[in-house]
Amino acid sequence: MCCRCTQVLKSAPISVPCSSRHILCQTCCVEMRAMKEYTCPQCDEEFDIEDDWVPVVDETRK
**Segments making up each domain of the chain, as ranges:** 1-48
Output 62 or 41, whichever has higher pLDDT.
41
* 18 — pLDDT class (breaks 50, 70, 90): confident
Measured CA to CA in angstroms, residue 29 lies from 20, 46, 57 at distances of: 16, 15, 11
Can you tell me the mean pLDDT for 3-16? 90
Residues 6 or more apart whose CB falls under 8 angstroms from that of 58 comprise: 12, 13, 14, 15, 21, 23
Mind listing the pLDDT tens digit for each residue in 30-55? Answer: 899 888 888 999 999 997 665 556 66
pTM of the model: 0.77
pLDDT, residue 3, reads 94
1-48, which class in CATH? Answer: alpha beta
Under DSSP, the state recorded for 15 is E
User: No. of H helices and E strands in the chain?
Assistant: 1, 3
